Amino acid sequence: MGVHVDRFAEPAAVARRSLVREIVAGGGLADPAWRTAFEEVPRHLFVPYYFASRTGAYERLWCEDPDPVRRARWLRGAYVDGPLATRVRDGELVSSSSQPSLMASMLEELEVREGNAVLEIGAGTGYNAALLAHRLGDDLVTTVDLDTEITESARTHLAAAGYHPTVVTGDGARGCPERAPFDRIIATCTLPSVPFDWLPQCRPGARILAPLSTGLIALGVREDSHGRSAEGRFLRTSAYFVPLRGGELPREGHIGGLPRRAIENELFRFLLTLTAGSLDPHEALSLWERERRPLRDRFGVTVSGGHQWAWLDDPEGPYAWPLGRSNGWASAVGG
């Protein structure tokens, strides 16, 4: 196999340094090891084409466009701090490459240590797996996706950039038992609840970071009388990802009669989604107002003994809501 020659290497390096400076200026990449990874992993090799949204439609930009102006637009867009639509079917977004500053934040919140084995749910373009492999080494990184087309292209992109983590085609909700145990699990797709199959694949002390509702939940895994349990709080930041394909997200329910100030409030919609199916929207509004519009980091999730629930302030407190079982979903998008 021939050596990949990157004819965009020089202008891409300039654009990459600019992107890193922007993320750092926004308070990200405080960890020097992650900053180096973002400086050295070439994102453009993972998005040889993507779709730019224009007037309600998607315009395809790609690296082999015969028009040099459009090629330049493609390269600039690859290093903009924003998400990129990488797969669109019938006008609907199927897969994307996440916003780099959000990826940086999630990777730092994952709190990896040297020697940690990491499972990524949602191979996407392979870019996030490459960042992990840059930090930890190929042998310690596994990425899973349901779609064969996605995993094959992720392998191709990774190889072009010089990385060779394990890429598995399979249901991300079932984890990857053949590669377990893991010290960290990170998901790049929105979940309706935490897959129970992940916990026995984690070492005690493992950390799980995943989008849930419109937030990011960080769970610590422990051994107790129920076997593996996990518990943790949401981060304060918002996070919007494409849903885990094959899984059905909870609906917000009937919101007629709710005041516009509540419906349009991003934090209230987080609570509404988190409690969907468990709490009437009007009850959710009463709680939200009584508790003085709580921020995300007052909420948490516990997974134990075959059950899981979300809670406000205290897992044993008066405000708790069951989350649905999550076995049997399909995997994933993002990265």
What tokens does 32 get? 């020097």
Report the length, in residues, of the chain: 335
Give CA–CA dist 205/203, Å, rounded.
6
* Residue in 233, 293, 45, 252 with CA at minimum distance from that of residue 156: 45
* Residue in 108, 35, 39 with CA at minimum distance from that of residue 79: 39
Cβ within 8 Å of residue 77, ≥6 positions away: 50, 52, 61, 84
Give CA–CA dist 73/271, Å, rounded.
39
Q: Which of 18, 95, 97, 304 is catalytic?
A: 95
Q: Is 95 a catalytic residue?
A: yes
* Residue in 77, 46, 45 with CA at minimum distance from that of residue 61: 77
CA atoms within 13 A on the CB side of 333: 23
Give CA–CA dist 111/82, Å, rounded.
23
- Scanning the chain, the segments in alpha helix (DSSP H) are 9-25, 32-40, 68-78, 100-109, 127-136, 148-161, 260-263, 266-274, 281-290
Give CA–CA dist 224/307, Å, rounded.
14
Cite the active site residues: 95
